[in-house]
Chain A
């Protein structure tokens, strides 16, 4: 007579329930992207592909989405470059105020978004800068920068400084040591950092709301629309973004697995 095993039944049940709970909102979004928008309600009206084929019939959704992509791409590019340089500087070089720089880089991670958003809005107002896409981009660079630095720093910690010294020893001037050795070895960390920055920027609402003025981003649009029931086009875009992200992860995973396999084969 075996005793009741917690691990055998309870844990799998709990795990499945947890995943179902996580997946419900995503499944809902996906299912309702096929809802017939006969009336703008939250109930199921009937199946249709119209929302997917004519996603930009509701031009406001598409404009908001376009704004968000523009903001996230620009902010991610700038914060990835700046953040990588900062991460290298604070880990590899001795300079005055290095530890204070490190501390200051962590502060935005700990600051509530409401505080940062409101503070930035007040600053833009004082400086007389009109709110718009530009101010949102600046705000997003600011709050994603810390995430990039932290992620890239973790990668630099695994990088043996001897490799760069070997490069210098083998006749490579500093710039080529960076492009041929440092950068390729940091690339996985930099990629991860930029994906994180993009995701954070793309769906940010609070800081954006404070600093965007009349410009509408995708999260802002959905938030406003949610009061009356979410338009199916928003569900289409939400689902599409989700599947795009999943596809990206799969490509990375499969690519990594294939590389590992080909390495193992050569052995």
Chain B
């Protein structure tokens, strides 16, 4: 059944894209290549230019400069209805004056494809909604509308499917469920998906490749695990998960490791995980990679970074983990996540602790904090 919809997805290539709106620049200079069949996520805060990028690809806006290629064909000057691209809009944008099946058949009818109605019903089967074909969109729940929007786009077998925060209007539970379904459908139909979202969990969960966008530029791009384990900029380290960051001048540097001095503490990062090895640099660690020790400092060794002593100033219970905020004089606050496995190391505020983590879990960033102040 699903084979009906299998089409060879096409490569998408953006070359030197710039988009200016009156008064501001939405996208500065964007180069991007998405291979056919990939699930690609554009992740960023609101206003970072990700939705603008999507609209440029759909043809709903035109770039100020640059080229858009779909399957090696330049479509920059093509109108939206001439592009082999379909969009699942943020609030679905289902036509309220048509039934569900008419909505799905709309694109087929516009292209004068034969037997639009049976094909539309097949697409509804793919999203398991064929029993609601005659309803009006406003009679469906949010999750069902979302699936209709997906069917309406997929039925056209576009080379490229654009998803503009398609799960943003759903509640958390439904969102997680739709993530799984969406990913399954993408694998089944083998189309190229370009998914725009501000939800980092959603992006990491579904995408093969994630591009983190900030202020109209792509900060970093890669597989979700690589981005998380090895962020390269302060923005990425904080937007994708949380990070403890430490700023200091490089004290030692060799082929294996780079160390900085932060208020008398030596913090080391493997050279192959550092973007910069000279001058002032930022070294970070994820809160779940760090642990803390009560009463006495852990034994110093070359494989361990140790900071302290500090004191616990906040404890938060979040279910799967406890989050501890530790204040270290002259350094600032450090966040540590501890798995909630029944033996939390410390449960009281004000306890004196040392924080440690393995050197191989450090990462060195390429930029410096703007205010150049606190380590956090």
B136 near A166 (CB under 8 angstroms)? no
Footprint of A on B, CB under 8 Å? Answer: 58-60, 79-81, 85-87, 89-91, 93-97, 106-107, 110-111, 134-136, 139, 152, 156
Does residue A171 face the partner (Cβ distance < 8 Å to B)?
yes
Contact of B81 (CB < 8 Å), options: A171, A180, A185: A171
Q: What chain B residues lie within 8 Å of A172 (beta carbons)?
A: 81, 106, 110
B96 near A171 (CB under 8 angstroms)? no
B81 near A163 (CB under 8 angstroms)? no
Q: A176-B110, A185-B96 are in contact. Are A170 and B79 (CB under 8 A)?
A: no
B81 near A168 (CB under 8 angstroms)? yes
Apart from A165-B93, A170-B81, A170-B106, 19 more pairs, CB < 8 Å? A160-B91, A162-B93, A163-B93, A163-B95, A165-B60, A165-B80, A166-B87, A166-B93, A167-B106, A168-B60, A168-B79, A168-B80, A169-B80, A170-B110, A170-B156, A172-B81, A173-B81, A185-B97, A267-B139
Q: What chain A residues lie within 8 Å of B96 (beta carbons)?
A: 163, 185
Main secondary structure of the interface of B (DSSP, over half): loop
Contact of A263 (CB < 8 Å), options: B81, B87, B90, B139: B139
B85 near A171 (CB under 8 angstroms)? no
Does residue A213 face the partner (Cβ distance < 8 Å to B)?
no
Q: What chain B residues lie within 8 Å of A267 (beta carbons)?
A: 139
B111 — nearest CB in chain A belongs to which residue? A171
A177 — nearest CB in chain B belongs to which residue? B81
**Can you list, as one digit per residue, whether each of A171-193 has a CB less than 8 Å from chain B (1) or not (0)?**
11100100011001100000000
Instruction: Find the residue from A166, A170, A172, A180 having the highest chain B CB count within 10 A.
Output: A170
Q: How far is the CA of A181 from the CA of B102 in the complex (A)?
A: 12
Q: What chain B residues lie within 8 Å of A166 (beta carbons)?
A: 87, 89, 93-95
Q: How far is the CA of A226 from the CA of B93 in the complex (A)?
A: 57
Q: How far is the CA of A34 from the CA of B97 in the complex (A)?
A: 46
Does residue A266 face the partner (Cβ distance < 8 Å to B)?
yes
A180 — nearest CB in chain B belongs to which residue? B106
B107 near A171 (CB under 8 angstroms)? yes
Q: How far is the CA of A164 from the CA of B201 in the complex (A)?
A: 31
Instruction: Determine how close the nearest CB of chain B comes to the CB of A174; give it in whole angstroms.
Output: 8
